[in-house]
Structure 1
Amino acid sequence: MIFKLPIEETLNKLLLQEDTDKDKKITKEDKGPKNFTVSSEDGKDYEVKGTYFLSNLLQELALEKKLGKSEAIIPLYKIEEAPSSRIPRMIKDYFWDDLTRTIDEKGLNAILSDDKTSGGIQRLYVPHDDEIGKAYFKNIQKQKGNVKVEILPKNITPEYVKSINTKPGILALKLENDKGVPFVVPGGRFNEMYGWDSYFEGVGLLLDGRLDLAKAMVDNFCYQIKHYGKILNANRSYYLTRTQPPFLSSFIREVYEADTSIGLDWLSSVLKIAILEYNSVWMLPEKRLTSNGLNRYLAEGIGIPPETEPGHFDEVLAEYAEKHELSVMEFEEKYASGKLTDKDLDTYFIHDRSLRESGHDTSWRLDDCCADLNTVDLNSLLYKYETDFAHLISVYFNGELVDGKGVKTTAGFWSKRAEERKKLMNSFLWDPDKKTFFDYNIVSGERTNFESATNFYPLWVQSCSKEQADLLVKKLCKAFKAKGGILATTMTAVEKLAMGKEQKQWDYPNGWAPHQMLIWKGLLNYGFEKVAHEFIYRWLWMITRNAVDYNGTIPEKYDVVACTHKVYAEYGNVGTEFDYITTSGFGWMNASYQYGLSLLPKNLIISLDKLEDPDTLFSKT
């Protein structure tokens, strides 16, 4: 059955009847009759019933309207499409393209016109040693009066970065043939390429056959390392002193193994740059490498992170303002300008910027201590770098590779380096009594005992023994299982360390896509298929239930206990604000759906479409 519908007339009638809260969506909270009649091409009336099917109709009308049509031709199957077919189809056909950006003449308008510009001036910062970029963007500046191109100095210091915080701008990325190499943004208010988000988006892109975009993002990462010295938190000027969790080796390996016809020249080039990043960003003594041989996050910078919302640090600043007998506003102004100094507060912000470098902004696990921690997640990821380097050099380069400085490096060297790290992780991070991994505080000389999903990263990188894996899975199922998936931290940890304080977005009761995806694969690595399938189902059920009830909403994060996207901690929830239809979702959430669906057995996909409650479903097994 096919419906040929006048778009404006049908939209207006549908919204008037069904969108009773006037938010331009049809959700379970609307109080309409949940029954709307349309006529097919052969003149037969058809009743569209229920929130999900009505919202599908609304979305299809919106898609046709976006194409500039006055009349929509909509087949019945798109209205009554099963969620496990519709959600991945929307992600593959619409969301990835809508989230794609380029730093070039065509792409700059969308990026430079967002609310992160300052004083109406659209600033673009270009590396001093990118001759192609300098010439290209200077030419754009001549053509566009509202674009201001700034050339970065050779030596980018924290002092310099602070000096340009009052005139923020986007940072240039790679150009090829006068076109920007594309990248995928997280969604919503984000128009920049983020560090670890990009890897997880890449997992979804590869599943959806978008090798072009995944490879392009690796190329942009390599550009960042070459010209900015690191993979950036994101390509904004105020992130120049901060990196993010290291996933480049995994990204390179997965892109290349998806299509080896890319060629060994490409693999050799990007692998050398990844080794450069490993050595120059992560392995400098007394920086991110600590004296015990393990690593920490340690972001540079001066003062208050400028990207935070007004008032974000008021609770912290109030304590110091009282000490200096000033109001919070007066203290903040004097501290920011350098008229007043406070070493303790300086230390707090070292920890805070390092916490943001970790990607977990924010969590009580890392608050006011991050730079003192050998974290389980970071050391696991660097173990993965070492084993990836060993694998790629062994398989594709006959066991040895000449790096970017002309020095020969071998697969054996990296295997040995990985084994050394594994021993250190077992010595410092593994708690034999509590039978799990914890972050290690290099100042106190003790493990933190903070229960976090990041403690399970060794499953993903396969650095733990089978005995350790068995113990970790018992802990995971006992303490981290929620109705909607895996908790970011346990309730016990939050109560112990943050009693009476504000909720942080990376803590209980929230759950996040990267944790789910890494732990699923980790469980499968060690043969825990049934456990993995249950956790995958719980997460996909929550996303599907939410999309069915809320007009296709795919948000940034969830409360996995209440199974809701209505999460208001700190920065709110990106991906929930749209009219008629979301055409982008949220990057790593999209990827988690595609990835989870690729791993789920067919019988559980059938249950997913029926929205069978996970607690009921898995109580049977």
Structure 2
Amino acid sequence: MSVPVDEHSLCAHRRRSSRSSDADPFSEPDIYYGQEEHLKQHAQAHRRTLSSSLKRFDLTDLRDFIGNVPSRRTSHDERVQSRKFLIDVDATLETLLEREDTDHNVQITIDDQGPKVFAVGTAASNGYNRFDLRGTYMISNLLQELTLAKDYGRKHIILDEQRLNENPVARLSRLIKKCYWNALTRRIDGSNIVAVAEDPKDWTADPVPRIYVPPGAPEQYEYYKRIADAQPELRLDVQYLPEGGPTAEYVKDLNEKPGLLALAMEEYIDANTGMKDLRGVPFVVPGGRFNEFYGWDSYMESLGLFVSDRVDLARLDDYFLHDRAVRESGHDTSYRLEKVCANLATVDLNSLLYKYEVDIARTIRDFFGDKLSIPTEFRTPQNAEHGFESSAVWDRRARRRKAAMDKYLWDEGKGTYFDYNTVEQERTDYESATTFWTMWAGVASPYQASRLVNEALPKFEVYGGLVSGTEKSRGPIGLDRPNRQWDYPYGWAPQQMLAWSGLIRYGYQDEAERLAYKWLYMIIKAFVDFNGAVVEKYDVTRPIDPHKVEAEYGNQGGDFKGVSREGFGWVNASFVYGLEFLNAHMRRALGACTPYETFSKATAVQY
């Protein structure tokens, strides 16, 4: 017999239920786990009393968490509604890791030998009835959610089943858009200057946090000096960079005073004081160990050369010259560029320059009435007389560059582009995926694009998309010639994204869709099987564990405890960008972790 409920209580309960049903089970962690009142409302709307005692919960703690339990009035069919689980965070986390994390790395993956079955209590039964979570994906998602809940100080949570069995494509897309980008965003200002300026590599006798301010930013110098004077215990050393740029002697002196370069700041109104102040302009870092401001990759260079009168000084200088060029190229490192990079006119750099020239011409023509005024201090000998530039100048530059690329970089016999060695005055023979940058930039003719698709693409297309270079070009690998991360068998997000765009530009939609699907499948498979891992690069020839890379410094983005909070910048971008190339059928297949070969056979047109 049901317990009598007066009309006022019934209406109040309905209001609570309405509020709870509006709660988004896919909210960001700071909303889902960070607001205790929301969780209490969420819990109260789904309680029912039981005659038996709770298992694994202290009833007093539970009542403190969810308040008084309303009486049960009707049955709740969990087969109709998505289940919700009542979970003791610390106890469940401890038991989960003990049973399932057999390799003790605080991740639950297909490499672990646990039972891959874990029972949790349903919220509708106050935790009494148990429900089995099955499979690596759901159980690893439970680990991730419990880790986040613990981060927010939760002792007990109501957890939606939808958060555990969410379509993996939807889950990764949601995490990238709502969590990873925020986690990868940094700013430098007074709120964190001491933390970011501390340098674990500072081996000087008296390490102090130090920041260097460009001479053209006096307001930043005054800002940081104000902080240093107000908080002397910080020992913040604020210094100007020299006027006119650093000299060689000054660069060497920096070894004794390492510090941080001040980045852009913006004015804002401080809500507490109502006064104008400065704060750091936010920027996004790649993730993993790469925690600084990058463009393509690190623009950091060596701070000096060894000074010696040895006979091999010139050879040493050449080594650093080529090494700096490799770092600047973004493809660090690769046998394609090693010991020769500074001598190369590369396909990728010239493709970029061609696109700059074309884009600048179009911008001048479309947005400046074909007449861009140049301030006096920025004029060159070419535009000094008239004081402006027209699109024609940049169009001519682009045409000249295309003619030079056709002459020096295009190999008609092989139907692909190669780098040109300006010292040896010959094309190299290293087959690189940068050949497809020419399609992205639009420098390839339709004929050249067809040759690239028909003759070059088959050499680079593998299980997980495009490989950086061919195995033939890389050559043999051994103890004296180790793997380089921008060579075979590794694939990188920028190479994929530029190739997709280039293929679409020339009308090769099927090829673009196929390559995008393969790359995204590889990402989502590692995400599902390896505790939500999203890493810097992948071995695109490995179907099972492509995120395991044994080259140079290994991989970035996979060394986390419990839950990945950032992913990796350009892989995050490639995933959400790549989804735009897939039709609805492909997206559904991707969500079911269907390999491309299986999908292709299932959807092949039968004639």
Q: TM-score surpassing 0.5?
A: yes
Q: Which runs of 4+ in 1 moved over 4 A?
A: 116-119, 337-341, 496-500
Instruction: Name the aligned partner's letter for residue 376 of structure 1.
Output: V
Alignment counterpart, residue 37 of structure 1, candidates 119, 122, 131: 119
Partner of 1:292: none
Q: Please give the alpha-carbon distance, in whole angstroms, between the structure 1 residues aligned to 2:441 and 2:554.
A: 31
Q: Please give the alpha-carbon distance, in whole angstroms, between the structure 1 residues aligned to 2:143 and 2:476.
A: 47
Partner of 2:304: 302
Mapping 1:120-199, distance limit 5 Å: 120-142=207-229, 143=231, 145-154=234-243, 155-177=245-267, 178-196=278-296
Partner of 1:350: 321
Alpha-carbon shift at residue 467 of structure 1 (Å): 0.4
Q: Please give the alpha-carbon distance, in whole angstroms, between the structure 2 residues aligned to 1:64 and 1:164.
A: 44
Alignment counterpart, residue 402 of structure 1, candidates 350, 363, 373: 373
Q: Is the 8 A contact 2:194 2:209 kept in 1?
A: no
Q: Please give the alpha-carbon distance, in whole angstroms, between the structure 1 residues aligned to 2:184 and 2:599.
A: 35
Alpha-carbon shift at residue 176 of structure 1 (Å): 0.7
Q: Please give the alpha-carbon distance, in whole angstroms, between the structure 1 residues aligned to 2:258 and 2:454.
A: 47
SS of aligned partner of 1:42: helix
Shift in alpha-carbon separation, 1:609–1:418, aligned structure 2, 3 A: same
Instruction: Name the aligned partner's letter for residue 549 of structure 1.
Output: D
TM-score norm. by structure 1 comes to: 0.76
**Which whole-Å deviations, capped at 9, do the CAs of 1:165-214 have from their partners, x for residues lacking one?**
454332111111210001011111222110125xxxxxxxxxxxxxxxxx
Instruction: Name the aligned partner's letter for residue 374 of structure 2.
Output: D
How many pairs align? 491
Q: Please give the alpha-carbon distance, in whole angstroms, between the structure 2 residues aligned to 1:301 and 1:419.
A: 38
SS of aligned partner of 1:168: coil
SS of aligned partner of 2:234: coil
Q: Is the 8 A contact 1:98 1:583 kept in 2?
A: yes
Partner of 1:592: 574
Shift in alpha-carbon separation, 1:476–1:581, aligned structure 2, 3 A: farther
SS of aligned partner of 1:362: coil
Q: Please give the alpha-carbon distance, in whole angstroms, between the structure 2 residues aligned to 1:615 and 1:158.
A: 57
Partner of 2:472: 492
Confirm whether residue 54 of structure 1 aligns to residue 139 of structure 2.
yes
Alignment counterpart, residue 378 of structure 1, candidates 342, 349, 367: 349
**Which whole-Å deviations, capped at 9, do the CAs of 1:344-375 have from their partners, x for residues lacking one?**
11111100011000011111111111110011
Shift in alpha-carbon separation, 1:134–1:452, aligned structure 2, 3 A: same
Bigger drift between 488-497 and 458-467 goes to 488-497
Partner of 1:458: 438
More helix by share: 1
**Which whole-Å deviations, capped at 9, do the CAs of 1:6-47 have from their partners, x for residues lacking one?**
211121121111111111111111111111111221114221
Partner of 2:89: 7
Q: Is the 8 A contact 2:415 2:456 kept in 1?
A: no
Instruction: Name the aligned partner's letter for residue 239 of structure 2.
Output: E
Q: Please give the alpha-carbon distance, in whole angstroms, between the structure 2 residues aligned to 1:11 and 1:114.
A: 34
Mapping 1:209-608, distance limit 5 Å: 233-234=298-299, 239=300, 302-303=304-305, 336=306, 338=308, 340=310, 342-404=313-375, 405=378, 407-495=387-475, 501-563=481-543, 564-608=546-590
**Which whole-Å deviations, capped at 9, do the CAs of 1:269-327 have from their partners, x for residues lacking one?**
xxxxxxxxxxxxxxxxxxxxxxxxxxxxxxx8633xxxxxxxxxxxxxxxxxxxxxxxx
Q: Please give the alpha-carbon distance, in whole angstroms, between the structure 2 residues aligned to 1:390 and 1:70.
A: 60
SS of aligned partner of 1:595: helix
Alignment counterpart, residue 84 of structure 1, candidates 154, 158, 169: 169
Instruction: Name the aligned partner's letter for residue 562 of structure 1.
Output: R
**Which whole-Å deviations, capped at 9, do the CAs of 1:480-518 have from their partners, x for residues lacking one?**
011011111110101179995111111111111111111
Bigger drift between 392-401 and 143-152 goes to 143-152
Q: Is the 8 A contact 2:467 2:489 kept in 1?
A: yes
Q: Is the 8 A contact 1:116 1:168 kept in 2?
A: no
Q: Please give the alpha-carbon distance, in whole angstroms, between the structure 1 residues aligned to 2:215 and 2:480.
A: 48
TM-score norm. by structure 2 comes to: 0.77
Bigger drift between 124-133 and 81-90 goes to 124-133
SS of aligned partner of 1:543: helix
Q: Please give the alpha-carbon distance, in whole angstroms, between the structure 1 residues aligned to 2:412 and 2:488.
A: 25
Partner of 2:8: none
Q: Is the 8 A contact 1:159 1:301 kept in 2?
A: no
Q: Is the 8 A contact 2:468 2:492 kept in 1?
A: yes
Instruction: Name the aligned partner's letter for residue 180 of structure 1.
Output: G
Alpha-carbon shift at residue 124 of structure 1 (Å): 1.9
Alpha-carbon shift at residue 109 of structure 1 (Å): 4.1
Q: Is the 8 A contact 1:554 1:589 kept in 2?
A: yes
Cα root mean square deviation, aligned:
2.1
Q: Is the 8 A contact 1:117 1:123 kept in 2?
A: no
Q: Please give the alpha-carbon distance, in whole angstroms, between the structure 2 residues aligned to 1:54 and 1:165.
A: 49
Alignment counterpart, residue 20 of structure 1, candidates 79, 102, 107: 102
Partner of 2:37: none
Give unmatched runs, 5+ long, in structure 1: 198-232, 243-299, 304-335
**Based on CA coordinates, which of the two structures has the bigger radius of gyration?**
2
Instruction: Name the aligned partner's letter for residue 302 of structure 1.
Output: G
The higher relative CO (CA closer than 8 Å, separation ≥ 6) is in 1
Q: Please give the alpha-carbon distance, in whole angstroms, between the structure 1 residues aligned to 2:259 and 2:455.
A: 45
Q: Is the 8 A contact 2:224 2:238 kept in 1?
A: yes
Q: Please give the alpha-carbon distance, in whole angstroms, between the structure 2 residues aligned to 1:20 and 1:614.
A: 31
Alpha-carbon shift at residue 392 of structure 1 (Å): 1.9
Shift in alpha-carbon separation, 1:346–1:498, aligned structure 2, 3 A: farther
Shift in alpha-carbon separation, 1:132–1:432, aligned structure 2, 3 A: same
Aligned residues: percent identity?
43
